[in-house]
Structure 1
Amino acid sequence: MTTAPPTQPGGDFTLRPIEDEMRESYLSYAMSVIVARALPDVRDGMKPVQRRILYAMHDMGIRPGSQYRKSARIVGEVLGKFHPHGDASVYDALVRMAQLFSMRAPLIDGQGNFGSIDGDPPAAMRYTEARLAAIADELLADIDQQTVDYSDNFDDSLKEPRVLPARMPNLLVNGSSGIAVGMATNMPPHNLGEICDAINYVIDNPTCNVDQLMEIVPAPDFPTSGRIRGVAGVRDMYATGRGRIIMEAVTEIEDMPGRNSNRQRIIISELPFQVNKATLVEKIATLVRDKTLVGITEIRDESDRRGIRVVIELARSAQPTVILNNLYKRTALRSSFNAIMLALVDGQPQELPLKDLINHFVTHREEVIRRRTEYQLGRARDRAHIVEGLLKALDAIDAIIETIRSSQDVETARNNLVQQFDLSEIQAQAILDMQLRRLAALERQRLDEEYNDLLATISRLEDLLQNPQKIRAEIKRETREVKRKHADPRRTVIIREELQEQSIEQFIVQEDVVVTLSQRGYIKRVPIDTYRTQRRGGKGVRGANNRDDDVIMQIAVVNTHEQLLFFTNKGRVYPLSVYETPNDSGRTARGTLLVNLVPLQPGEHVQTMLPASRDEYNRLYVFATRNGRVNALRPGQLQNLRKSGLIAMKVLDGDELVAVRPAQSDASIILVTEQGQALLCPVTSVPERNRNATGVIGIKFKDEFGGKDHVVALEVVNDHEDEYLLVVSEKGYGKATPLCNSKGEPVYRETNRGGMGVKTFAVDQSDKLTGPVVDAKIVTSAEMNDEEGHEVFIISARGQVVRINLAEIKVVNTRQTKGVIIWRERGGDDSVVSIYCFRATDYSQDDPALQDGAAGTALAQAEEVAAQADSQYEEGEDEDVDEDTADDDIDDDGDGDDDPDTHVNGQAPLL
């Protein structure tokens, strides 16, 4: 015996678990949203609200070419008859179907403000007017011929179509977007002509694949034009129903007119689909204001009715390619369309590839044509039946007239006609309704012609129904007609090359910078024009607020797209991109500890910082240690550098690496010591080794220095007759000595490695006047003559940096002198620690990382700051040359004795 469920006061209802009630209610709600609101039907590509708007306008007679009607009236008609969900939802849908930037083929012809690509809202519905667009007729064609099913409206007072006949493939042409419950659709628009061709192709080739279809429909075609970058995502979408399409704006870099012709600007003329132009411009302005983007001076929106035009003016020093890359990366100028081709198939949501979408549309058109044919066949048969009766009546017109006249009433006359002349009731009624004018001979001829035409039509329609191939041929014919009437050229350009993974250099401004490295390991970079040019003897500008025990040891003028190689005292090498170095806004900033950027080991510090393009890793590098050992690293050993570093040369205990230089195998190297000795030898005399080699003896030190001499510089010599050795001492004395004199005779004779070298600088042994040699560089005659604006940086222990032209430095033809003062101490205990020659040959314009040939200007062409020197050249300083030419006990041929190999008339040559 069962017990009835308990009842509650106030009514009869049943208690049930809340989980069941929530599940069923949620599923009902979800299905309502999916089927009746958010997702389009695969057949006509319309959501219910869109379908109801078009049908209501069709029912109201607001056709293409007719008078516009107020949108409020249309919305009211839709609300009152078909869609009781609020006027906002109806008007929003109507507005979108009228927007040229939202629909590839707008279905509504709007008059008034229907919004803009800037996100401006449309005017209120009472101000705007609308009518059906011409192409909308293709969606509603034959709707009055029983081609689709109807259902009751919300109050069962009217009928509305469940789907439109849709002669046009609207789902693919205009796309669709909508968010349902647990699913969403996002279908891109396409070109009508391409889709029509694809439909006919699928009908003729039902076994075609996606690649064959993509020859006809290569990609979506957006109403805002733009570009599509790569087709891999498009193919995924067409093959699986999901894909990611990369869209780009159309931009152009052009020179500014008039007096600003030396400046450039970026013009944006087309935008990616669904990008808000006003928001885009605001985003760019925000990036400029926040200093995320530099080099932009002005942004203007010059768009009008003729199209989009956004002008981005650039500074003179700006690099358009880099700025454009940053705009693509940081703004919606490059955006993605994540396609989900989801639609309702028999009321069920399905993700559909392109071919399935076309097949469903063709199946729908087959059903529409079949039902239309059946309707037309029925009408033709009915009319033929009536015409047949009329023709019978004309054959016996006298008897029929007599029968009608003898009948008591119409009903009797109809019955008598049926009985006496073998007519149907319909035929008899048609005879009774026939006008007397039909008795004319010409009318008889017209009835005969109509009857024959009707028989032919009936035969054709019956044959059409019996032959599916002819139905498909009819679909092709109508599709071609739709294309002929409404197709237009493709708007979106397809760039088939896929978007490659972009290197960070593409987003880094190419500029010449000064990178400094202090003794305590602080590194920083500042723009090249931070240091102003001075005359020799100037006291310089502050290069860094270093601590008293810190010294700027390394300086390099490089481009931000180059790399730096850090060779340490332990013989290891570490790579670092220039743009990874800290960009300090002021020259006096200390910088960042290099150990935070490069994984230096305990007790390891950088001895040489070399700029290098990525194609220079395969070069020959020559190493020199403090104790005079040298090594030539075989090319290719630094080709695969890791961030963690590599051993470049194995350094012996008690020794350390001093310098590294890239060199050609036919070049020479020169070693310079603290006590002013210099040894010149060919690179070939240094055997090429692998990275773990300890090297060989390069230079020996004289006993007279009591073991206090060490190597301070290593330089590469490429042209003996055109190069100078620039030497600077601790107290600021310096000179440039030619490697060969005016007669082409060597001042520094090339010897084998392992010798003691020759005197190149007269070091004051008391260390009070000149101090020991601290650095030496090789410079060319062109650089010394200032033909290219070559300069030299002189760095002091207190961080002072003097920037002077090389032409300011005294050229001394004798080796055994101390030169002239090129740096002067200005208070406090300060001294020179290093120099750096700023020359065009240090800069490679062939760096493959520089895109589109937009290489930064050569260093020799860098804009110099023409400031007056803080300290003027003092009269008489050029006389500060030591004419002591004693060259006794100098082993200048490396054979271990004091006797030079070359004499003139029994005397040592005057060098």
Structure 2
Amino acid sequence: MKNIVENLHDLPLEEVIGDRFSRYSKYIIQDRALPDARDGLKPVQRRILYAMYVEGNTADKPYRKSAKTVGNVIGNFHPHGDVAVYDAMVRLSQEWKMRHLLIEMHGNNGSIDGDPPAAMRYTEARLSQISTELLSDIDKDTVPFVPNFDDTDKEPAVLPARFPNLLVNGSTGISAGYATDIPPHNLAEVIDGVIMRMENPECTVEDLMRVIKGPDFPTGGIIQGIDGIKKAYETGKGKIVVRGKAEIERLRNGREQIVITEIPFEVNKAQLVKKIDEFRYEKKVDGIADVRDETDRTGLRIVVELKRDADAEGVLNYLYKNSDLQITYNFNMVAIHNRRPKLMGLTDLLDAYIEHRKEVVENRTRHELKKARDRKHIVEGLMKAVSILDDVIRAIRASKDKKDAKTRLMEAFSFTEPQSEAIVNLQLYRLTNTDITQLRKEDEELAKKIKELSSILDSEKKLSKVIIKELKEIREKYGDERRTAVEEEIEEIKINLEVLVGNEDVIASVTREGYVKRTSLRSFAASNLEDFGMKEGDHLLSAFEMNTTDVLLLFTNKGNYLYCPVHILPDIRWKEPGQHIANLIPVERDEAVIGAVPVKDFNQPVYLLFVTKKGMVKKTWLKNYQVNRYSKPMAAILLKEGDELAAVHVTDGTKELFLSTYFGYGLRFHESEINPTGVRSAGVKGINLKNGDFVVSGHPIEDERQTIVLATQRGAVKRMPLSEMETSSRAKRGLIMLRELKKNPHRNIGTAAVYDTDTIAVRTEKNEKVTVPVKEIRLGDRYSNGSFAFAAEDKGYGKQLWIERNGPVKAGGGQRASDLENQGEGEGR
């Protein structure tokens, strides 16, 4: 017990954990997850190949049960779980993962659909022919051997590798702090690159790319982006686009279909087919009628059947952009070099392989040279023995035993110990004239071989020639055509909106509190305006007859606009409440929708006209508000501190603008006084305001048939001819439209230019709506306060004014509006 206590150490927890984790990290980096830059293998892969080689489970022998190999690997070299070993073994046999299979397997070894392989007791395996090239000359002292995990055997630290396997088959793995993604390449191209590098060590990546075009995936496909390949080859990191191979076929019935025959590397085919079918089921893309996987033994084939008038190119582009039919492959070429993980470019990987191959060939040459010299020494002894054969026989016959015979030969005739051993073991039939001739011939051949091997060791140039010759043999034997095409540029994918959504006319509506929806014309026709679904206290701000391919622009009091393609609006019946715009595009809590503009074509020669509460006005071309990304609010106008957007309208630049203020001032001027500016501008001053005053309404005047209607917070409504408001110029105070009262004066809560057929609506502070037909309001001059439409003491003060217009009219952007269109509203204090 005392000895145990004395061996205890009091150490900080972080020091203990740090030490243990650093050991663990070093182990999984060096001995588990990352490949060696020389033979391109992880330890488990190397041990599997070596174990099969030792057991004679090679390409020229029958298949053996996979379980037997897994057992040998676990028992002798790799003390880990059988599942990990079998999974690694299976991967080496999967033709959609490996550019050149290192293991041949009988039975179910999984599929490109992600199906698991059969259990190891059901499958059989053996080394492939090309694997023998990785193991070639391993018995000639070419590579270092290290003790296995229990010191009962030895295993190679690296394989001789007669071809650059790391680039040919690639590798992927994740360890502590490091990950690797090295794509497979074409064997013939990589060998040509190695030869170029050996013949010209100063060659650049650009030179190498003349022979190594880029990755060559076993599943084929198309690579886009030579710049990404070049960057990856230079730095070890880079990005390329890989897309599947697809063609559009026209059928006899006039319809078209997309046929996919190659998919990107490491994409799960079944998941890809499922994803495409989800697009069809969820109607995310219009035009797909059916999706079928027709893959069989002849090859991969996915058929996307299209509807009769579908845009085949558009659907294909959508699949490229939104499914794994096109992916981004990121190079991260990390490998173990000199026992350390290193991010390596193409030249680094080639140099590491060339350096390794030189060591292997040098070691092999030394081994063969020693063997040749030893044999020549024996042959020389045998030839000498034959020349004095009678004396040799007498010496052997006089010996007591083999040992004594060897001693007599060495002493009497100066034979060496190996020569004496060979002589005493010589068979009698060899003592013929024919045999001496063969010995002389062998001696000459050995001398020639020794000279040749010595010259290889003495000359770097000859050593390189040997390596190049062997590489060319490998290229001739195993090289094949490139499967993956390489395109220089990354194609920009453009998708027409018609491809994404069906062409349907709908009613798009938005309420004052920001609830939006689209409603089918059938649902709208079956209802009436009083049945519109909305929350209590809310009211309809705008409703437009639009198409699902159109865009609805919503503008907020904070000067932002929300870009809403009609097809993304929730499809909800006319009688049911809509969905808040914040569910589609995030807006702030105090941000309110103040206007809506429907757009069919952004290239129309029209402007958006903005009016703010502080009297600023701005005019900007509509086309400037078209965007491709609309996941958040975007600035429509630059507002000054404390200012808010009051109104926005579509105009052609030929109209007059009428502004009205809370204190009852009105200003009429031509919009030509407002020069067009950009989106992020503040505009110019429209009206000169008194202290405490603010703009409540601003809108264009359509024609001289309109009259001006104004409502006050006390419930009064007045109407006056346009002629009462003379045309002036901008930035003026304007004309007073309400008679000043010393006690409880009237304040303007909204002004609008209306037709006789319109109806105005006033919302009270008690959230009640009071409607008044325009033709029932008596015309007066601008000095009157109008007549009371409701009693303030009964219904509270007036808060908002808007128009309820009957009959379809032209809305902004050239659309037909529904029975309701907001034309101007204000909010009193």
TM-score normalized by the length of structure 1: 0.64
The residue number in structure 1 matching 2:651 is 660
Q: CA deviation at 1:530?
A: 5.3
Cα displacement string for residues 265-296 of structure 1 (whole angstroms, at most 9, x for unaligned residues)? 43333222222223333444455555555654
- Is 1:611–2:600 an aligned residue pair? yes
Is the Cα contact below 8 Å between 2:104 and 2:128 reproduced in 1? yes
CA distance in 2, matches of 1:325, 1:223: 24
CA distance in 2, matches of 1:44, 1:422: 48
Cα displacement string for residues 546-593 of structure 1 (whole angstroms, at most 9, x for unaligned residues)? 899978977465572x6567999x9x9979464487353446667679
The residue number in structure 2 matching 1:16 is 10
CA distance in 2, matches of 1:606, 1:411: 114
Q: 1:142 aligns with which of 126, 137, 140?
A: 137
Is the Cα contact below 8 Å between 1:515 and 1:524 reproduced in 2? no
Q: 2:82 aligns with which of 87, 91, 102?
A: 87
Q: CA deviation at 1:188?
A: 2.1
Structure 2 unaligned blocks of 5 or more: 612-618, 628-632, 639-646, 656-671, 678-683, 687-698, 708-718, 724-754, 759-773, 777-803, 817-829
CA distance in 2, matches of 1:524, 1:575: 12
Structure 1 unaligned blocks of 5 or more: 1-6, 626-632, 648-655, 664-668, 670-685, 711-727, 732-765, 769-829, 844-858, 860-911
Q: CA deviation at 1:301?
A: 2.4
Deviates more, 1:163-172 or 1:547-556: 547-556
Q: 1:220 aligns with which of 215, 223, 231?
A: 215
Cα displacement string for residues 780-826 of structure 1 (whole angstroms, at most 9, x for unaligned residues)? xxxxxxxxxxxxxxxxxxxxxxxxxxxxxxxxxxxxxxxxxxxxxxx
3-state DSSP of counterpart to 2:378 = helix
Cα displacement string for residues 520-547 of structure 1 (whole angstroms, at most 9, x for unaligned residues)? 79896758875999xxxx9999996689
Q: CA deviation at 1:594?
A: 9.2
Is the Cα contact below 8 Å between 2:181 and 2:332 reproduced in 1? yes
The residue number in structure 2 matching 1:375 is 367
CA distance in 2, matches of 1:85, 1:567: 64
Q: 1:76 aligns with which of 44, 50, 71?
A: 71
3-state DSSP of counterpart to 1:110 = strand
Q: 2:571 aligns with which of 566, 579, 584?
A: 584
Q: CA deviation at 1:167?
A: 1.0
CA distance in 2, matches of 1:697, 1:122: 75
Is the Cα contact below 8 Å between 1:64 and 1:133 reproduced in 2? yes
The residue number in structure 2 matching 1:388 is 380
Matches within 5 A, 1:159-174: 159-174=154-169
Q: CA deviation at 1:384?
A: 1.2
Is the Cα contact below 8 Å between 1:701 and 1:707 reproduced in 2? no
The residue number in structure 1 matching 2:195 is 200
Change (3 A) 1:640 1:116: closer
The residue number in structure 2 matching 1:53 is 48
Change (3 A) 1:62 1:634: closer
Q: CA deviation at 1:493?
A: 2.5
Q: CA deviation at 1:361?
A: 0.9
CA distance in 1, matches of 2:365, 2:423: 28
Is the Cα contact below 8 Å between 1:565 and 1:573 reproduced in 2? no
The residue number in structure 2 matching 1:869 is none
3-state DSSP of counterpart to 2:600 = strand
Matches within 5 A, 1:217-366: 217-255=212-250, 257=251, 261-262=254-255, 264-286=256-278, 289=281, 292=284, 295-316=287-308, 319-366=311-358
Cα displacement string for residues 138-169 of structure 1 (whole angstroms, at most 9, x for unaligned residues)? 11000111111112222222222121111121
CA distance in 1, matches of 2:24, 2:700: 85
The residue number in structure 2 matching 1:509 is 501
Change (3 A) 1:687 1:204: same
The residue number in structure 2 matching 1:430 is 422
Change (3 A) 1:588 1:145: same
CA distance in 2, matches of 1:702, 1:218: 72
Is the Cα contact below 8 Å between 1:622 and 1:662 reproduced in 2? no
- Is 1:116–2:111 an aligned residue pair? yes
Cα displacement string for residues 102-124 of structure 1 (whole angstroms, at most 9, x for unaligned residues)? 21211111111111122222112
Deviates more, 1:313-322 or 1:330-339: 313-322
Change (3 A) 1:579 1:469: farther
The residue number in structure 1 matching 2:808 is 834
The residue number in structure 2 matching 1:900 is none
Change (3 A) 1:597 1:426: closer
3-state DSSP of counterpart to 1:268 = strand
Between the two proteins, the alignment pairs up a number of residues equal to: 688
Matches within 5 A, 1:621-636: none
Q: CA deviation at 1:477?
A: 1.4
The residue number in structure 1 matching 2:472 is 480
Is the Cα contact below 8 Å between 2:513 and 2:592 reproduced in 1? no
Change (3 A) 1:189 1:120: same
Is the Cα contact below 8 Å between 1:251 and 1:270 reproduced in 2? yes
Change (3 A) 1:602 1:418: closer
Q: CA deviation at 1:836?
A: 5.2
2:569 aligned partner, one-letter code: P
2:651 aligned partner, one-letter code: V
2:334 aligned partner, one-letter code: L
Identity of aligned residues (%): 36
Cα displacement string for residues 591-628 of structure 1 (whole angstroms, at most 9, x for unaligned residues)? 679999999x9999769755323x54xx47799x9xxx
Change (3 A) 1:226 1:586: farther
CA distance in 1, matches of 2:514, 2:551: 17
3-state DSSP of counterpart to 2:104 = strand
1:493 aligned partner, one-letter code: A
Is the Cα contact below 8 Å between 2:570 and 2:579 reproduced in 1? no
Change (3 A) 1:438 1:238: same
Change (3 A) 1:276 1:576: closer
TM-score normalized by the length of structure 2: 0.69
Q: 1:490 aligns with which of 474, 477, 482?
A: 482
Change (3 A) 1:302 1:174: same
The residue number in structure 2 matching 1:156 is 151
CA distance in 2, matches of 1:160, 1:831: 90
3-state DSSP of counterpart to 1:833 = coil
CA distance in 2, matches of 1:603, 1:425: 105
2:11 aligned partner, one-letter code: P
CA distance in 1, matches of 2:122, 2:554: 71
3-state DSSP of counterpart to 1:834 = coil
- Is 1:97–2:89 an aligned residue pair? no
The residue number in structure 2 matching 1:443 is 435
Is the Cα contact below 8 Å between 1:265 and 1:320 reproduced in 2? yes
CA distance in 1, matches of 2:623, 2:486: 43
CA distance in 2, matches of 1:637, 1:46: 57
2:86 aligned partner, one-letter code: Y
CA distance in 1, matches of 2:334, 2:651: 64
